[in-house]
């Protein structure tokens, strides 16, 4: 009996080592269901974190600079260069701004349902860059004529219908690109941090503060420096600066591909929304046990294997 007890004591350290090794093996990978760019479980040491987060932050700052670099003086461009009156120019910009927000819904739907956030951000950033380049080229080739016009003193000449159509095509490509990109980059950045890990969860909270700092810094630069250039009639230079900023943002974003963490898209959500509505309508009279013990809940392994599913905590609200 004494021998068996001594033997068991000797075996316990080994069992502890095995348990520690298992725990270490589990902690090598994220626990929120994210994957790397190959579709494998994301390794914490080789993906995500602040390496990917900083790339997203710089990308956001540069893309914001590019967008507001052409947006902030758009009414002035329409009145000084295209000879629109103030009412028509303001109306055009209002419609254009509304289109940006409508395209945000399109980008969010494609991201969550089919493409995923990375692909959606990349595709719409390419459209954004092409729109800015087209705007810069059209301004340089035929909109800013005579050269140096468009300031507060020198009006520009008349333009053909083709030239005006090229301008509107360019700005609506910018609306499509920025609208589809913006809501997804705001969530793709936090995806780089595992909310199941205490340290990374804290970094995830901090990321949102840095994200809006990057957004405001980009907006500050465009609303001061680029706005000053365009107000002085240097429209082409301002547009090319926005195009260059957007190009650098796209290159930086693509360069981080091996480090990003991804969540798989979960398909068209409309069917699941209908299922939830039907289930709620059929069970609205059902009495729930105290503490929600009879509610269905996935275990951790089942949750990690789920395709793009995000876990939502039970709530006492809406009862």
How does pLDDT run across 43-101, given as a tens digit for each residue?
A: 988 899 999 999 999 999 999 999 999 998 899 999 989 988 999 999 999 999 999 99
**pLDDT for 192-241, tens place per residue?**
999 888 889 899 999 999 999 999 999 999 999 998 988 888 999 999 99
**Interatomic CA distance for residues 277 and 258, integer angstroms:** 40
Query: Which parts of 6-57 are beta strand (E)?
Result: none
DSSP state for residue 114 in the 8-state scheme: I
The answer on pLDDT for 24 being more than 60 is no
The mean pLDDT value of the chain amounts to 84
For the chain, what percent of residues have pLDDT higher than 70? 83
Q: Structural domains in the chain?
A: 45-259 (1.20.1250.20)
**Using CA atoms, how far apart are residues 275 and 269, in angstroms rounded to an integer?**
10
Measured in residues, the chain has a length of 319
Report pLDDT for 104: 94
Whose CA is closest to 66, among 280, 219, 263, 171? 219
Cα angle value 25/26/32 (rounded, 5°): 150
pLDDT for res 9: 41
Query: What pLDDT, in 10s, does the model give residues 261-313?
Result: 999 887 777 887 888 888 888 878 877 777 666 776 666 666 555 555 556 66
Please tell me the number of Cα atoms within 13 Å of 50 on its side-chain side.
8
Nearest-angstrom CA–CA distance, 274 and 260 = 33
**What per-residue confidence (pLDDT) applies to 3?**
40
Highest mean pLDDT, choosing among 35-39, 126-130, 198-202 = 126-130
């Amino acid at each position: 009996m004494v021998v068996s007890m001594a033997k068991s004591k000797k075996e316990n350290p080994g069992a502890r080592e095995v348990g520690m090794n298992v725990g270490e093996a589990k902690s090598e990978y994220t626990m929120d269901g994210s994957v790397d760019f190959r579709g494998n479980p994301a390794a914490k040491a080789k993906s995500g974190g602040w390496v990917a987060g900083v790339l997203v932050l710089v990308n956001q700052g540069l893309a914001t600079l590019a967008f507001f670099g052409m947006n902030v003086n758009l009414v002035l461009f329409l009145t000084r260069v295209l000879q629109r009156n103030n009412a028509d120019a303001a109306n055009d910009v209002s419609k254009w701004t509304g289109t940006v927000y409508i395209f945000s819904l399109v980008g969010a739907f494609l991201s969550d349902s089919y493409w995923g956030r990375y692909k959606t951000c990349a595709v719409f950033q390419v459209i954004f860059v092409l729109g800015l380049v087209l705007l810069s080229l059209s301004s340089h080739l035929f909109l800013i004529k005579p050269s140096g016009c468009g300031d507060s003193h020198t009006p520009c000449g008349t333009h053909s219908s083709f030239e005006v159509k090229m301008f509107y095509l360019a700005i609506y490509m910018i609306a499509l690109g920025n609208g589809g990109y913006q809501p997804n980059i705001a969530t793709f950045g936090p995806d780089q941090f595992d909310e199941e890990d205490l340290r990374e969860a804290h970094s995830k909270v901090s990321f949102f503060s840095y994200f809006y700092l990057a957004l405001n810094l980009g907006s500050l630069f465009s609303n001061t420096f680029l706005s000053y250039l365009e107000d002085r009639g240097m429209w082409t230079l301002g547009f090319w600066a926005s195009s260059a900023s957007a190009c650098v943002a796209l290159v930086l974003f693509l360069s981080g591909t091996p480090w990003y963490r991804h969540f798989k898209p979960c398909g068209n959500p409309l069917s699941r929304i209908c299922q939830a509505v039907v289930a709620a309508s059929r069970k609205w009279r059902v009495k729930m046990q105290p503490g929600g013990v009879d509610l269905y809940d996935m275990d951790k392994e089942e949750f990690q294997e789920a395709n793009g599913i995000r876990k939502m905590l039970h709530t006492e609200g809406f009862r």
